Amino acid sequence: MPLRRLKLAFSSSIALAFLIYFALPAWAGIGFQPISPDELKMKSDPKAPGAPAIILYRQVDRDDNGYTSHEDNYIRIKILTEEGRKYADVEIPFFKDRENITALKARSIRPDGSTADFDGKIFEKSIVKAKGLKYLAKTFTLPDVQVGGIIEYAYTRDLAENLIFDSHWILSDELFTKHAKLHRSAAGGDEVLPRPAQLFPSREDRR
């Protein structure tokens, strides 16, 4: 191949790669999971007898490769009793000026499998205020949450630029967790923790 034609082909490849890179979203996040008939039919879980709700699945994907670290979160909750409907009111805590909650999406899945997407207002409330510290929460309420239904939501936690944060992985919640997958990507390599969170009550794994 003549040198001129080779240079032209190489330049075209670089331009195409450049266009593809910038056409893609910077961070796609975690999408909603398929609706499972077994999850819809579930009435209880033998490992959490009498529970008002359980976490069916939780996933955390942390990326520490760039100047700005970010963490994608996804949670899916089965509503088992009338009391469990309170989990339609969601709070996502965060530290003001150090991180922000973005790309939030949520939906309710009714017992018949139909869905109701959240399109309401997201509020911000103060949890703790002290000198140099603001601990806030993003709050919202999912629509049409019914006993036997499922709620799910996903969001990205954007961390401040050029700062070092430790990974703070909560391995247990007030609700029983059936399945969980925790993943961290960094320059030194990846970490995956696909352990069932219910084995670790009231403990945290710090990475």
Torsional class of 29: left (φ above 0), alpha (ψ -120 to 50), beta (otherwise)? left
**For the whole prediction, is pTM greater than 0.85?**
no
For the chain, domain boundaries? 33-206
* Span 44-87, pLDDT tens digits: 999 999 999 999 999 998 877 766 688 899 999 999 999 999 99
Question: What CA–CA distance (Å, rounded) separates 93 from 88?
Answer: 16
Q: Which CATH number fits domain 33-206: 1.10.540.10, 2.60.40.3140, 2.60.40.10, 3.40.50.300?
A: 2.60.40.3140
In sign, the C-alpha dihedral spanning 41, 46, 49, 54 is negative
Which ranges in 133-197 belong to alpha helices (H)? none
* Span 118-144, pLDDT tens digits: 999 999 999 887 666 788 999 999 999
CA distances from 23 to 20, 26, 27 (A): 5, 9, 12
